[in-house]
Structure 1
């Protein structure tokens, strides 16, 4: 059986590599851990990167040019934003008790500048380089940083940059006031067509026969998936005070955003039978104390565990107690699942399989007109929305998503082929296998919950279970052996045109022992391997993982025999 060959160099994007690609190949289990820690030896080899990790490449060049024009010292760094809300957010984040000692900033260490470049007003946060980790989270978790395409365009005009004079007022927890009016970014035809495409996909083969009249005006476009989550939080927290509740495994940036929520954060890890009852006990307890729940958030299915909660039962609970239900359908994706019959708000990362080619970022918030909360939510989000999705990025998203359904057919096929192979070679079938569990909807007990919201098949498209799966091994040694041996790109991201493998949980949580142990308690183990399939030939992929699984089995046998 043939196996795939990888020729991509360390730190480079999967092909075709270009100025806006968002993947990077970092082979080696410990290499991605070193990257997470900011190891200079690793960072110096990076020629491509996920733009939300920080200002890199064109965005970094823009930041450097602004830095020079402002005459700042080498000990100072800058983060450029188009949204003036970044000023207040920087203060809240950098001075927060959640920042580690040595990283937390003190009053006077943050600076704020405003510049005009190429017709765009840029709000510049100035910080001490020694405490970069205490500030960079506002770029990473809120996702509002300058995109590489916007950075490249603004660089053309940076020589004519004009500093906008103003008297800023701000302090710890106070934010800023009196800053110059923002320009934000203009919308174009691509934005309109992108909204219409999303609405068309939501209405296509709807569960229950319809989507309650969702229209383009109910879709809010954002520059990244995390920017959509952040806008969601800002909007709902402004009209509903209380704790944010999350159910099941959620993306680590969403976790870090919610754990600092003003009203508190409550998490339930296990989404199996009984979780809705435990949630009801919590809601009752909050109400007894005179508190409410701001909203309940979940992924369907979850990343990286692919579990699916009982949405029907959860919807009944939301109706009973009046809290909004927010569902992130990124992993299941528009084409496979239809959660609008139960979701008050739908969150989607357009960066993933909707785009599919790993060269642009975007996100969306969709309000459900059938929701009882819609009369409050629609004017709220309309009032706080300002366009931050650069037109060239919107155009690329529109172009990429033109073949979304045909690509998704291949992604569904390939993921099922790999998951089926792994299951047939797991301990459920072969007791001596180093592979203990396959995490993919058809092989999990929560499958009925997923199938309840699968779209019906049409002549145009037959839904499946998405591009993402994970596998568990009996020991870390076996997991490492498989990971090192498998000839597939090693990179964060999912939904790309080529298959990506990652020791995702180790990368996301491994730097915090307490949090890592908690995540592992409901299945997100540190030695788990996550696989996002691409568009390759299915037999080629099966042959590739088969060869690596044989290496893992040999390593485990050697361990058992004391070799």
Structure 2
């Protein structure tokens, strides 16, 4: 039985954990309500909803150093292009009188410092959008929806460089007319002004330390010594997880695993990438450069949409199936909008076909396979046929199914995935991917746009962790599939349970089976609803698994998913057949018998409520 305290990171004692413990039903509700007894104890959180303390600390330092009167908040991004997109998004949605203090700054390596030489290949740059407290929610919307923000490891590393004087201001703040490195105060509307101890003066970066600390080697001696020590500096900053020379081969290894190609251990040098013509996806002409890596799964979806808009022009898209919250937001807010079909049913496809026959044009159809949290599978065979006939692209999110279980690229123009989930498994690093189908009718145009627009913002440390975590990806799948089947049997056998949602037991199973690999299973995610709400609450409070957001972890993780993902729209979710009291279970690698006992015990606790009333 696993017990984590409220607000503790999951996994425990993990500086960059992806999940956080919300061990009771009441704590989940209180988190959504912003109650202090929960929020004050949060040491971690899902990275696109919770600003990591390392990111927050660096943002606050930048505001204190460069912020002008009226600027109290900062959102951090990996490049100036990303920050510029954030500025445009905020300006399109906020009141003009709030925008007077909206600026961006860009920090780059001080290349005049010999200690920075060894760092150039990692491009440890940071851009920050500085703004008032009132306008910050719009910047946070952009950050959450797009996944374009910096990772906590990048923020931690770059903050250290900034403190040591190696990361410096590249130019006057974007949007400022001052050519001075000390921007003039931005007063803004009087009602939004606040006092600042720095009075709007941009302080100089801290000088290199003069004391002999073992983790920083800036002693000002001759260049050979500095070069040697700067290399040691990089190794120590990266925690000696892997020699820094392996970062590019690590990216190659990750891409090849995503492509389903067998790859050798890249630690053996020199690394010679094997041929990719034989792969689990069954596409002989798939190349490594058809796979794009992103800092998180939502960023892969956001950029797939951007690439399609660039390749095909401005048209509405289709969100097919009950959506992961930010997928729908991306399609609604970044472009001309979308048509939403919430059930992913044949009836929905009939309606879509009628629209197409009437002459409506669409950019692309976005869907998950299976969907989250009802594990419904859209009819990809029919969707592909409609796409070919009526000229729209198909983007399939295979995060839940995984290419080890299903082969969806045969029906898709782009396949996206959150590597944060089962591909990593360890719940300590984010990542995302997009695979362009080389046989797509849009491939040439998509490739041209992607090659022009793509920025590799996947931070080197995150790459290292992802590569290591994913080495045993394929071998974990079979165990997780089997455990999920066992938990389904346990839940289905209980009279307290109303529905169990799992691809094998779903009415849409034929759609899953049409894509299922011969050796694949039905995945590690399932959901359960109860006849009575008090049974759902009692079950959740009693279950001995880890309890928090995210999925695809190597350990079983339980969550009242609808409460967390759709708390402000529970009625809307219910109208689409998604029970507000649904509990989602991401199944891990534990011993099957231990999991069965754990779930039976929680059902017994819930069932005792009925006995007590009788």
User: TM-score category by the smaller chain?
Assistant: 0.7 to 0.9
Q: Which residue of 2 aligns with 1:412?
A: 481
Please give the per-residue CA displacement for 1:163-201, whole angstroms capped at 9, x wherever unaligned. 22247359xxxxxxxxxxxxxxx9722112211222235
Contact 1:65 1:158 in 2 (8 A): no
- 1:325 is aligned to 2:394: yes
Q: Which residue of 2 aligns with 1:545?
A: 599
Contact 2:63 2:71 in 1 (8 A): no
In structure 2, how many angstroms separate the alpha carbons of the residues matched to 1:364 and 1:300?
A: 15
In the TM superposition, residue 244 of structure 1 has moved relative to its aligned partner by 1.5
Contact 2:87 2:129 in 1 (8 A): no
Larger radius of gyration: 2
Please give the per-residue CA displacement for 1:498-547, whole angstroms capped at 9, x wherever unaligned. 111111111111113xxx32322232221100000111111111111112
Contact 2:11 2:428 in 1 (8 A): no
Q: Which residue of 2 aligns with 1:554?
A: 608
In structure 1, how many angstroms separate the alpha carbons of the residues matched to 2:344 and 2:398?
A: 16
Match of 2:437 among 349, 354, 368: 368
Q: Which residue of 2 aligns with 1:531?
A: 585
Match of 2:518 among 442, 456, 476: 456
Contact 1:328 1:347 in 2 (8 A): yes
What is the TM-score of this pair, normalised by structure 1? 0.86
In structure 2, how many angstroms separate the alpha carbons of the residues matched to 1:112 and 1:140?
A: 18
In structure 2, how many angstroms separate the alpha carbons of the residues matched to 1:167 and 1:372?
A: 43
Partner SS, residue 99 of structure 2: coil
More divergent stretch after superposition (148-157 vs 333-342): 148-157
In structure 1, how many angstroms separate the alpha carbons of the residues matched to 2:278 and 2:477?
A: 15
Q: Which residue of 1 aligns with 2:52?
A: 56
In structure 2, how many angstroms separate the alpha carbons of the residues matched to 1:421 and 1:124?
A: 50
Q: Which residue of 2 aligns with 1:80?
A: 76
Please give the per-residue CA displacement for 1:339-397, whole angstroms capped at 9, x wherever unaligned. 11111100011000000000111000100011111111111111110100011111111
Q: Which residue of 1 aligns with 2:127?
A: 123
Match of 1:245 among 301, 314, 318: 318
In structure 1, how many angstroms separate the alpha carbons of the residues matched to 2:80 and 2:540?
A: 43
Q: Which residue of 2 aligns with 1:218?
A: 290
In structure 2, how many angstroms separate the alpha carbons of the residues matched to 1:496 and 1:414?
A: 13
In structure 2, how many angstroms separate the alpha carbons of the residues matched to 1:201 and 1:273?
A: 34
Match of 1:434 among 496, 502, 515: 496
More divergent stretch after superposition (412-421 vs 64-73): 64-73
Contact 1:190 1:391 in 2 (8 A): no
In the TM superposition, residue 414 of structure 1 has moved relative to its aligned partner by 0.9
Contact 1:55 1:146 in 2 (8 A): no
Q: Which residue of 2 aligns with 1:198?
A: 258
Relative distance call for 1:204 and 1:311 in structure 2 (3 A) is: farther
In the TM superposition, residue 81 of structure 1 has moved relative to its aligned partner by 0.8
Match of 1:299 among 347, 368, 382: 368
Match of 1:269 among 322, 330, 342: 342
Relative distance call for 1:556 and 1:252 in structure 2 (3 A) is: farther
Contact 1:205 1:456 in 2 (8 A): no
Relative distance call for 1:253 and 1:112 in structure 2 (3 A) is: same
Relative distance call for 1:216 and 1:127 in structure 2 (3 A) is: same
Q: Which residue of 1 aligns with 2:24?
A: 28
More divergent stretch after superposition (45-54 vs 367-376): 45-54
Contact 2:6 2:38 in 1 (8 A): no
In structure 2, how many angstroms separate the alpha carbons of the residues matched to 1:93 and 1:105?
A: 16
Contact 1:470 1:529 in 2 (8 A): yes
- 1:447 is aligned to 2:501: no
| Count of equivalent residues | 517
In the TM superposition, residue 556 of structure 1 has moved relative to its aligned partner by 4.9
Match of 2:174 among 146, 149, 168: 168
Relative distance call for 1:74 and 1:29 in structure 2 (3 A) is: farther
In structure 2, how many angstroms separate the alpha carbons of the residues matched to 1:545 and 1:524?
A: 22
In the TM superposition, residue 466 of structure 1 has moved relative to its aligned partner by 1.1
Relative distance call for 1:73 and 1:467 in structure 2 (3 A) is: farther
CA RMSD of aligned residues (A): 2.4
Q: Which residue of 2 aligns with 1:227?
A: 299
Q: Which residue of 2 aligns with 1:308?
A: 377
Partner SS, residue 108 of structure 1: helix
In the TM superposition, residue 424 of structure 1 has moved relative to its aligned partner by 2.2
Contact 2:260 2:403 in 1 (8 A): no
Larger RCO of the pair (alpha carbons < 8 Å, separation 6+): 1
In structure 2, how many angstroms separate the alpha carbons of the residues matched to 1:40 and 1:414?
A: 37
In structure 2, how many angstroms separate the alpha carbons of the residues matched to 1:166 and 1:281?
A: 54
In structure 2, how many angstroms separate the alpha carbons of the residues matched to 1:333 and 1:543?
A: 27
Partner SS, residue 464 of structure 2: helix
Partner SS, residue 162 of structure 1: strand
Q: Which residue of 2 aligns with 1:236?
A: 308
Structure 2 unaligned residues grouped into runs of 5+? 110-115, 177-244, 263-276
Match of 1:154 among 155, 158, 167: 158
Please give the per-residue CA displacement for 1:94-130, whole angstroms capped at 9, x wherever unaligned. 3455x8xxx9983324222222256533211012224
Relative distance call for 1:95 and 1:435 in structure 2 (3 A) is: farther
- 1:8 is aligned to 2:65: no
Please give the per-residue CA displacement for 1:477-497, whole angstroms capped at 9, x wherever unaligned. 221121112122211110112
In structure 1, how many angstroms separate the alpha carbons of the residues matched to 2:562 and 2:441?
A: 37
What is the TM-score of this pair, normalised by structure 2? 0.79
Q: Which residue of 2 aligns with 1:503?
A: 560
Match of 2:525 among 440, 447, 468: 468
Q: Please show how residues 280-291 of structure 1 align to structure 2 within 5 Å.
A: 280-285=353-358, 287=360
Relative distance call for 1:253 and 1:33 in structure 2 (3 A) is: farther
Q: Please show how residues 134-145 of structure 1 align to structure 2 within 5 Å.
A: 134-145=138-149
